[in-house]
Amino acid sequence: MPEYKKTGKKDKISDSQFNSWWDNAVDGRSDYDWKWFIYDLWVSGNHYVKWDRDSQQITSSVPDKGHPKIVINKTYSTLRSVRNFALRNRPRAEATPENLNPENITDAVKLNRYLDFLHDKLKMRTKQRASLWHALKYSVGWWQVLWNEDEKEVNVNIVDPYDLYIDSTARSPEEARYMFLAVRRNIEDITSDPMYRDYIKKKKIELKPDGKLAASDMKERMINIEKTGEVRSTSDKNNTIIVKELWYKKYNEETGEQTICIMAKAGETTIRESEETDLTKIPFFRLPSDVDPLKMYGQGWVKNLISPNKLLNQLESQVAEYNDLMNRGKWVTDRGAGVRTINNNNGQIIEKKRGFDVIQASISPLSAAIFKQIENASMYIEDMGGAHDATMGRIPTGAKSGKALEALQVGDSNNLSEVVENLEEFLEAVYEYILELVSQKYQFSHRIVTTTGSGEKEFIEIIGSEAKGSEGESIAPEGALVVEPKNMVDVKITSWLAETQEARREALIKLFELQAIDLETLLQGYAIGNVAQVIQRVGKQKAVNMAQETAQQVALADAQNQNKPQSTPEPQVGAAQANAALQAIIRGQEPEMPDQVTPEYIQYIDQFMQSDGFANLDDGDKQAVQAFRNQIGQQAL
């Protein structure tokens, strides 16, 4: 379970202080709660909710009274497109230790691979999607980063913005004096949780359900709407209660040092006394979708989409109503005509009284202006949401080439650059804090398996810099990566060559032809599988081809010199024998030992070992060639 080191030191905080901070945080968030509730309704497709005076409740089941109420949920599709566009590339983290020097460059490379390992192990990709969705809806998303004492590993938790209440005077998380995490928990889980269990038993506390679904009234209403379509009074039959966990800063009056403390209440009952921790900061990290200067919360994406989406719903409802009415026909009849319809096997028969007229009214065409207005409303949504046709995968009118489509996507990427940059800075802060925790908590070496850029597996041993022996000496194994507490992490998410796969590959080919990149980078760009195995096969084939070319040249020289007297072995003959032996080694066969080792024989093998063909062989073939060279050298002596 997520934990932190207890210092054993208690801190006194009165119930009145606890409640005062809670009330201030709730009051400071109340306006945002109402806005977030409205945003939730629009994203979930509840565009026609209203206040029911009879039931005194908010209801989403609004009768249409004969007029269609069409919902075109462009708000949801825009948020989905923006999120997917922002996360279309995997984040690349580059960590630089504070004490970087020429001797520990290799450690910096290992540290980057360790961050890639954590990214996959902690399922950060899924958590990024969840928190970015929160950020686009509410303007902020939150993560909590703690040490998991059970798994001896870092733990990253998604936090619902509704559940995190922050110091109302703070303009940023760094300024906050305190934060409350208020979540609904099962009473049985609380009483068995090691963080609360001992105190509850000691004080003989009996917890009772409070009947609440969430600490926020607006979140509670939204949960009820999602369940029933209406907001109804909650039932207390569920054995749950709201746990309010208070994290706050305490300063030493003499030294000015900051200490992070924690206290918890279930309902109004204290279940954990205030105590100090060894944390250096309140462990919550903010992901903003947009930056509103000197404010904790921004505007988010939904606020400015509601008005044009409301207009689009209205216009599409009018078109649907027109089609429904006119397709059934519009009739004019005298009062008292006694019109009735009879449906039978012969068709539909309309009866009327004699002497009365029943005629079909002329159908006026729908004005073209309404379709132009629909087009404008869709355009407004795309402009405000930053997700146009090209981003959604549709080819815009007038775009005739892939380059034009790519240019439009680049334009959208500029509109969404703030989201991407905020996500990068958010991950940088999280990774730096994770490495700080690792430096403190990895008291014994951890072995992990990472994958290099070429697809090869690599074992890395990691240990924290604070892992010491009984006499304060370092206990890091030889060759292990020692993680220091201070590191600078740079995260990049944007594409590093081009916006489309085809353009990226074209650029890779040009760079490879200019010898600006190697074969490994080119193959990675094509995502063809295990790059290391491909390079090894290509290297083997090159070595075989080179050996065959040499053999052909030797054979040609033999044919030209066959009439010349030869008192000693020709250089070409020695080279041909060496070439045949090398081909056998590369094919995994036993090479034939020469009867006489000539200088040309050894020279040919030495030249091959300095060539690119030898460099591209796998390690096993290299060792076999080297062993054969040593054996030949001994025979020559």
Q: Which helix (H) or strand (E) holds 399?
A: none
CA atoms within 13 A on the CB side of 494: 17
Q: Is 401 exposed, middle or buried (0-12, 13-18, 19+ CB in 10 A)?
A: exposed
225, 346, 306: which is closest to 47 by C-alpha? 306
DSSP, residue by residue, 407-455 = HHHHHHHHHTHHHHHHHHHHHHHHHHHHHHHHHHH--S-EEEEEE-TTS
Distance CA 159, CA 163 (A): 7
With a pLDDT cut of 90, the percent of the chain lying above it is 41
pLDDT tens digit sequence for 162-221: 999 999 999 999 999 999 999 999 999 999 999 999 999 999 999 999 989 999 999 999
Which pLDDT score is estimated for 413? 67
Question: Taking a C-beta distance cutoff of 8 angstroms, is the pair 136, 301 a contact?
Answer: yes
Q: Which residue has the higher pLDDT, 308 or 620?
A: 308
The pair phi, psi for residue 458, each rounded to 5°, is -140, 135
Q: Which residue has the higher pLDDT, 243 or 625?
A: 243
Which pLDDT score is estimated for 150? 84
* Residue 230: DSSP 8-state: B
How many C-beta neighbours within 10 Å does residue 155 have? Answer: 17
Distance CA 7, CA 276 (A): 6
* Residue 390: DSSP 8-state: T
Predicted confidence band at 308 (pLDDT cuts at 50, 70, 90)? Answer: very high
Predicted confidence band at 160 (pLDDT cuts at 50, 70, 90)? Answer: very high
Determine the average pLDDT of the residues in 401-408. 55
CA atoms within 13 A on the CB side of 549: 8
Distance CA 173, CA 282 (A): 9
The pair phi, psi for residue 28, each rounded to 5°, is -70, -20
Predicted confidence band at 7 (pLDDT cuts at 50, 70, 90)? Answer: low
Question: Taking a C-beta distance cutoff of 8 angstroms, is the pair 458, 464 a contact?
Answer: no
Helical pair 217-228 and 15-43, crossing angle rounded to 10 deg:
40
Partners of residue 143 on adjacent β-strands: 158, 285
Which pLDDT score is estimated for 569? 40
Determine the average pLDDT of the residues in 221-227. 85
Determine the average pLDDT of the residues in 525-533. 60
Determine the average pLDDT of the residues in 260-266. 95
Reported residue count of the chain is: 637
Q: Which residue has the higher pLDDT, 4 or 474?
A: 474
The yes-or-no verdict on residue 223 having pLDDT over 70 is yes
| 97 SS3 class | strand
Distance CA 534, CA 525 (A): 14
Percent helix / strand / coil, the chain, rounded to 5: 45, 20, 35
Q: What are the residue ranges spanned by the domains of the chain?
A: 2-63+140-298, 530-636
Distance CA 613, CA 585 (A): 13
* Residue 1: DSSP 8-state: -
Distance CA 356, CA 613 (A): 101
The yes-or-no verdict on residue 82 having pLDDT over 70 is yes
| 240 SS3 class | strand
Predicted confidence band at 559 (pLDDT cuts at 50, 70, 90)? Answer: low
433, 479, 488, 487: which is closest to 460 by C-alpha? 479
132, 128, 191, 140: which is closest to 36 by C-alpha? 140
The yes-or-no verdict on residue 603 having pLDDT over 60 is yes
Question: Taking a C-beta distance cutoff of 8 angstroms, is the pair 339, 358 a contact?
Answer: yes
Predicted confidence band at 567 (pLDDT cuts at 50, 70, 90)? Answer: very low
Question: Taking a C-beta distance cutoff of 8 angstroms, is the pair 299, 292 a contact?
Answer: yes
pLDDT tens digit sequence for 23-75: 999 999 999 999 999 999 999 999 988 766 666 677 766 666 768 889 999 99
**Amino acid present at 129:** R
The pair phi, psi for residue 106, each rounded to 5°, is -60, -35
Predicted confidence band at 307 (pLDDT cuts at 50, 70, 90)? Answer: very high
With a pLDDT cut of 70, the percent of the chain lying above it is 78
Partners of residue 166 on adjacent β-strands: 179
Lowest pLDDT segment from 23-27, 474-478, 504-508, 629-633: 504-508
The pair phi, psi for residue 403, each rounded to 5°, is -65, -35
Which pLDDT score is estimated for 543? 65
If you average pLDDT over each of 333-337, 495-499, 562-566, 570-574, which comes out highest? 333-337
If you average pLDDT over each of 129-138, 403-412, 505-514, 516-525, which comes out highest? 129-138
Which pLDDT score is estimated for 412? 62
Which pLDDT score is estimated for 509? 79
The yes-or-no verdict on residue 496 having pLDDT over 50 is no
The yes-or-no verdict on residue 463 having pLDDT over 50 is yes
> Which residue's entry shows tokens 């399922």?
123
Which pLDDT score is estimated for 273? 93
Which pLDDT score is estimated for 605? 84
Beta strand 457-464 with 331-333 is unpaired
The yes-or-no verdict on residue 405 having pLDDT over 90 is no
The yes-or-no verdict on residue 396 having pLDDT over 70 is no
Which pLDDT score is estimated for 131? 97
Farthest CA pair distance, the chain: 133
The yes-or-no verdict on residue 566 having pLDDT over 50 is no
Predicted confidence band at 586 (pLDDT cuts at 50, 70, 90)? Answer: confident
Lowest pLDDT segment from 278-282, 363-367, 409-413, 609-613: 409-413
Determine the average pLDDT of the residues in 438-456. 82
Question: Taking a C-beta distance cutoff of 8 angstroms, is the pair 346, 43 a contact?
Answer: no
Which pLDDT score is estimated for 570? 45
436: Cβ–Cβ under 8 A, 6 or more apart, which residues?
Answer: 280, 485, 486, 487
The token pair at 177 is 């004096």
pTM of the full predicted structure?
0.74
Average pLDDT, the chain: 82
